[in-house]
């Protein structure tokens, strides 16, 4: 278990975060699931899904422990959300193919917290069209390669949704979350910066909820985080 590479630059100082990377060959590094954490009796998960779920639960339990909270099973609710302790905002993410990278973060006192990780790979034009509105695509194409910025926008919109959904309970399509890049995006293999994500479906102080997030882009993966204070 290691601190999640890059997440420390994305989250408030008081947040706790951790990550793990595992394959099917080293599943013994993962703790078994606690009672009630797995699928119900009718659920059938592929080995990759089991690996992702176990890795995610393990790092989540670690960050909650680092906040001084007693261990408890992170049971999935009817909407799939883990049962985090009251007063704590937390988020889990995972990505990868034959190896799973899983990360979790937790923060006391915030209204929401969302993190997302994606493998670094350009998106095709068809996926960009699903993720970006025409206006977003027009603006972003002037800032850098749209196939790369489409991936960043995808991750940022995922982090925003994971941040706000536990409070708003609003299901959001990609077109219902607006992405704005607040940093230069050059051709370096490793870079970081800020973005803004907003949605008219989620109101705040009479207007669309708008939150600033941060990202880290490395050769291996893209990490994004959004906090709602």
Would you list the domain boundaries of the chain? 7-110, 118-228
Work out the mean pLDDT of the chain and round it to a whole number.
Answer: 91
Buried b (16+ CB within 10 A) or exposed e, 149-163: bbbbbbbbbbbbbbb
Give yes or no for residue 117 having a pLDDT over 50.
yes
CATH topology of domain 7-110: Ribosomal Protein L22; Chain A (3.90.470)
Burial label, 106 (beta-carbon count in 10 A; 0-12, 13-18, 19+): buried
pLDDT at site 2? 41
The predicted model gives 110-130 an average pLDDT of 96
Give yes or no for residue 41 having a pLDDT over 60.
no
Give the predicted TM-score (pTM) of the model. 0.94
């Amino acid at each position: 278990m290691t601190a999640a590479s890059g997440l420390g630059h994305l989250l408030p100082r008081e947040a706790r975060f951790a990550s793990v990377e595992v394959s099917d060959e080293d599943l013994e590094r993962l703790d078994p699931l606690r009672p009630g954490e797995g699928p119900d009796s009718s659920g059938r998960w592929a080995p990759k899904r089991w690996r992702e779920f176990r890795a995610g639960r393990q790092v989540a339990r670690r960050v909650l422990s680092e906040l001084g909270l007693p261990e408890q099973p992170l049971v999935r609710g009817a909407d799939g959300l883990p049962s985090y302790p009251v007063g704590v905002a937390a988020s889990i993410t995972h990505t990868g193919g034959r190896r799973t990278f899983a990360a979790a973060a937790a923060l006391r006192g915030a209204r929401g917290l969302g993190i997302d990780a994606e493998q670094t790979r350009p998106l095709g034009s068809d996926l960009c069209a699903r993720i970006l509105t025409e206006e977003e695509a027009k603006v972003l194409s002037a800032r850098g390669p749209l196939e790369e910025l489409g991936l960043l926008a995808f991750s940022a919109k995922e982090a925003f949704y994971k941040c706000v959904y536990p409070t708003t309970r609003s299901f959001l399509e990609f077109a219902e979350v607006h992405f704005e890049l607040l940093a230069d995006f050059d051709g370096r293999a490793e870079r970081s910066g800020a973005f803004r994500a907003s949605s008219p479906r989620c109101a705040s102080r009479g207007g669309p909820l708008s939150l600033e997030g941060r990202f880290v882009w490395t050769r291996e993966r893209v990490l994004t985080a959004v906090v709602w204070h």
